[in-house]
Amino acid sequence: MAEPTRTAKLTIDDKVIDLPIKSGTIGPDVLDIRKLYAEADVFTYDPGFTSTAACESTITYIDGDKGELLYRGYPIEQLADQSHYLEVCYLLLHGELPSGAQMRDFETRITRHTMLHEQIHYFVRGFRRDSHPMATMVGVVGAMSAFYHDSLDITDPWHREVASIRMIAKLPTIAAMAYKYSVGQPFIYPKNSLDYAANFLHMCFAVPSEEYVVDPRLAKAMDRIMMLHADHEQNASTSTVRLAGSSGANPFACIAAGIACLWGPAHGGANQACLEMLREIGTVDRIPEYIRRAKDHDDPFRLMGFGHRVYKNFDPRAKVMKESADEVLGLMGIENNPTLQVAKELERIALEDDYFISKKLYPNVDFYSGIILDAMGFPTSMFTPIFALSRTVGWISQWKEMIGDPTQKIGRPRQLYTGAAMRDYVDVHHR
Ligand code: SDX
């Protein structure tokens, strides 16, 4: 754990409180306020946690000004270019890149856990066919605790390990089942002969009536999308997983909570909302109207896929995703895809506009991902489930780090109360 490097002095009325300042490896120092309420009888106030570090972590680092994203110290650009998703999973979970033998063992364990308990097929069939796949994901992942009783004890490292492997392995199968169910096609079982991303594409797009061969170039693009979404520090859904986990809830319930939070359009739901926005804009001549609306405070419309709480220069994932979009659409022979043209022109115009420049709004990870997924044949409703299955390893890594921290306590924020002071009950006849 980081140790204090110096002390800040806080003066409240006639009292001076010493607050330790702790430094990390890189990034901003933190003011340790854990004793503030006991010593000064005041809380800090930070509703959106814009200036609050909720934990100490060694997993992912983001520098919003430099546009840097590091997984265990490795830049996302290098991993996206040289690694693959399961290797990134190992890195996030264990802190180091695996040896050849460690990678083969890890890949075998994941592959052998991709099938689901057969009873879950009946659970999925309980949903309406027109359910949003995210509803199915939240329900099925939460229900996994009803099926896998031998990996629920969070105090048992082996239970934690098995639950982690099971979720990383089974989330693609669940997402594919949700998709197949929504289009009325039979479920396709995982194939152990395929790698992780290819297996997911096969489970989504194969049909029993004919052989489906996954294009390795599309599998590589899907694998890259998964890597780009794998983890992202203490974002809203990761913080949800940590908070749920702090109560001792079982790992499946915690990940289901993370999926639920990710669904929101301000978070992981933005990839679906962004493609729907680009389609609504339709042609580049309609872009100025939407730029005007995005700048109008009286209009709730925002440019989906734009802006970020941390990135105030550019989102390095968006840069990689934009290159991948050009590659995949070129591969599909649709490089003149109108949606991609609108996206590129919208980005160009916005980045020259003082409103976006002054508010440091740039394309984020969700701006181009939907264009690629759409070109691959996914409906917009599957965009956030793909984000969720990719982020599962990040949620689990952060959850394991928290559970393994001997100092961790149940998360229980306080408040600034501005409601009614104490008053006596008034009988209805006297109101
Ligand atoms: C993800 O946290 C993570 O790391 C998340 C994520 C991950 O990997 O886990 O990176 C994934 O969620 C990416 C973000 C996806 N969301 C969207 O694309 C939705 C559109 N973006 C916004 O809703 C917004 O930018 C947020 C939610 C992403 C960030 O919001 P903040 O940091 O709370 O900023 P804010 O809402 O306070 O906005 C600051 C100003 C405001 O104007 P003022 O009130 O100061 O005048 O910028 C404006 C906002 O109105 N603004 C936008 C805008 N985003 C912010 N104006 C137009 N369009 C936008 N997209």
Angle (nearest 5°) at CA 345 between 342 and 346: 80
Q: Is residue 360 predicted with pLDDT exceeding 80?
A: yes
Whether pLDDT at 1 is above 80: no
What's the one-letter identity of residue 201? L
pLDDT for 212-248, tens place per residue? 999 999 999 999 999 999 999 999 999 999 999 999 9
Atom of ligand 1 nearest to the CA of 238: 9
Question: What is the average pLDDT across 335-345?
Answer: 90
With a CB cutoff of 8 Å and minimum separation 6, the contacts of 384 are 133, 134, 262, 263, 268, 269, 271, 272
Are 244 and 138 in contact by the 8 Å Cβ rule? The answer is no
- pTM for the full predicted model: 0.96
Cα distance from N-terminal residue to C-terminal residue, the chain: 57
Across all residues in the chain, what is the average pLDDT?
95
Atom of ligand 1 nearest to the CA of 359: 47
How remote is the CA of residue 84 from the centroid of ligand 1, in Å? Answer: 29
The secondary structure of residue 25, as a DSSP letter, is S
pLDDT-derived band at 344, boundaries 50, 70, 90:
very high
The alpha carbon of residue 213 and the mean position of all alpha carbons in its chain are separated, in whole angstroms, by 29
Q: What is the pLDDT of residue 359?
A: 93
- Listed in sequence order, the residues at least 6 apart from 46 whose beta carbon sits closer than 8 Å to its beta carbon are 52
pLDDT in tens, 108-125: 999 999 999 999 999 999
Mutate to test the pocket of ligand 1, among 49, 261, 272, 364 (most ligand atoms within 8 A of CB): 364
Cα(398)–Cα(148) distance, integer angstroms = 21
The residue nearest atom 46 of ligand 1, judged by CA position, is 297
Task: Assess whether pLDDT exceeds 90 at residue 334.
Answer: no
User: How much is the average pLDDT of 389-400?
Assistant: 98
- In sequence order, the 6+-apart residues with CB closer than 8 A to the CB of 273 are 265, 304, 305
Within 10 A of 407 (CB to CB), how many other CB atoms are there?
8
* The pLDDT of residue 5: 84
User: What pLDDT, on the 0 to 100 scale, is given for residue 81?
Assistant: 97
User: What's residue 60's pLDDT?
Assistant: 98
The Cα-based distances of 79 to 73, 239, 321 in angstroms read: 11, 24, 13
**Ranges 131-145, 234-248, 335-349: which has the least confidence:** 335-349
For residue 15, name the pLDDT band (cuts at 50, 70, 90). very high
Label residue 313 by pLDDT band (50, 70, 90): confident
Residue having the nearest C-alpha atom to atom 39 of ligand 1:
359
Beta bridge partners of 69: 62
Q: How far lies 238's CA from each of 72, 232, 352, in Å?
A: 16, 8, 33
Distance 2 CA to ligand 1 centre (A): 31
Tokens of 235: 């974002």
- The β-bridge relationship of strands 68-71 and 60-63 is antiparallel
Q: What's the gap in Å between 266 CA and the centre of ligand 1?
A: 7
Residue with tokens 């956030």: 384
Distance (angstroms) between ligand 1 centre and the Cα of 265 equals 10
Q: Which residue has the higher pLDDT, 150 or 43?
A: 43
User: Per-residue confidence at 175, pLDDT binned at 50, 70, 90?
Assistant: very high
Calculate how far, in angstroms, residue 362's C-alpha sits from the geometric centre of ligand 1: 10
- Of 50, 267, 351, 369, the one to substitute when testing ligand 1's pocket (max ligand atoms within 8 A of C-beta) is 267
Catalytic sites, residue numbers: 308, 366
Pocket of ligand 1 (CB under 6 A): 48, 232, 235, 266-268, 270, 294, 302-310, 359, 361, 364-366
- Indicate if the pLDDT at residue 2 is higher than 90: no
Summarize the confidence of residues 28-40 as an average pLDDT: 96
Which ligand 1 atom is at minimum distance from the Cα of 367?
18
Q: How confident is the model at residue 346 (pLDDT cuts 50, 70, 90)?
A: very high
Write the CB contacts of 45 (distance below 8 Å, at least 6 apart in sequence). 416
Pocket probe mutation, ligand 1, options 359, 366, 387, max atoms within 8 Å of Cβ: 359
pLDDT exceeds cutoff 80 at 315? yes
Angle at CA of residue 118, ends 116 and 122, nearest 5°: 110
Enter the DSSP assignment of 19: E
Q: What was the pLDDT predicted at 291?
A: 94
Atom index in ligand 1 nearest the CA of residue 267 equals 12
With 90 as the cut, is the pLDDT of residue 336 above it?
Answer: no
**270 confidence band (pLDDT: 50, 70, 90):** very high
Work out the pLDDT band at 50, boundaries 50, 70, 90: very high
- Strand pairing category for 30-31 and 68-71: unpaired
Ligand 1 centre to CA of 290 (Å) is 16
Q: How far apart are CA 345 and CA 137, in angstroms?
A: 34
Q: 349: Cβ–Cβ under 8 A, 6 or more apart, which residues? A: 287, 288, 291
Share of the chain above pLDDT 90, in %: 93
